[in-house]
Copies of this chain bind each other. A is one copy, B any other.
């Protein structure tokens, strides 16, 4: 989890697009999006086709798929299975679209920290992925058809290792020569409702915020030499964004109720969103610092979504894994 994520407005392209649309209107040139919703699962595909479109929404050019499942935290195993299958299908199609064939070797990187629950998504996914590279290396003639060469590493976090994840991953990539890296990361979101209900897939790799300076490196094709797909799930929210978001909601709530256009929230109405967020942050600062918060039930939520992602990847990466009965392959 990259703390500098806060300095960018959001880790999610979907939220970035919504924010941009609020300011710039719906029609941003070079920005395409389509949404499909079915039985509680909404899938939005966003294509940022030009650098201008990227700048408009503060996201790199590339393709983004967002899977939103508002009821995913309700412990419904049926829904979880459907999401897993859907993720597998979308991910397989995504691989095909960007030219990944079934001979391509994949390295899965689980970013984050085992010992901080909302940050443990990546390592948990790694633990549940079906890895096969060692069989291809040690007993290549005994590997059944339908399996791809897959490896998976959780490199740890800077505070524990003293080494940037991107350096560790670059070393592993150079030793093992995968054709594709898939990086799993926990994200910060703008709203509590997204925490552990939203999955984003992007072909842009992982870019740390610019806050800490250009010394921090990302996981990108530029750095690693192979394409990088990022899978992210919001697991935390800044307290300040909850507050700011709620003020927004209150403003529109009042406007609806009163049908007024005047200064319903007084001075708050006059502020631009970024100014107001800055204000909220200033106000919260004396309270210690602007804390990242997570739902009380995070232990269970993280386990559930790690299982969904690992199972989805297993089915998308290995033809031999049944898309409809994906859960059987993880513990």
* A114 contacts across to B, CB distance below 8 A: 114, 123, 127
A246, B283: Cβ atoms under 8 Å?
yes
Q: Which of B116, B133, B155, B171 contacts A299 (CB 8 A)?
A: B116
- Contact of A161 with B by CB under 8 A: yes
A134, B162: Cβ atoms under 8 Å?
yes
Of all chain B residues, the one with the shortest Cβ separation from A213 is B138
Contact with B along A116-135 (1 / 0, CB 8 A): 11110001001100011111
Which applies to chain A's interface (DSSP): helix, strand, loop or mixed? helix
- Contact of A21 with B by CB under 8 A: no
- Contact of A266 with B by CB under 8 A: yes
A284, B156: Cβ atoms under 8 Å?
no
| Cα–Cα distance between A6 and B124 once the two chains are bound (Å) | 30
B151, A162: Cβ atoms under 8 Å?
yes
Q: Which of B70, B192, B249, B266 contacts A268 (CB 8 A)?
A: B266
Given A151-B163, A242-B242, A254-B267, A192 contacting B127 (CB threshold 8 A): no
Q: Which of B138, B158, B167, B296 contacts A176 (CB 8 A)?
A: B167
Within 8 A of B (CB), among A273-324: 279-280, 282-284, 287-288, 291-300
A288, B134: Cβ atoms under 8 Å?
no
Binding site for B on A (CB under 8 A): 70, 73, 75, 77, 114-119, 123, 126-127, 131-135, 137-138, 150-156, 158-164, 167-168, 170-176, 191-193, 212-213, 215, 236-237, 239, 242-243, 246-247, 249-250, 253-254, 263-269, 279-280, 282-284, 287-288, 291-300, 328, 331
A-B contact pairs, 8 of them (CB 8 A): A73-B288, A75-B331, A117-B117, A133-B163, A134-B158, A134-B159, A152-B161, A298-B298
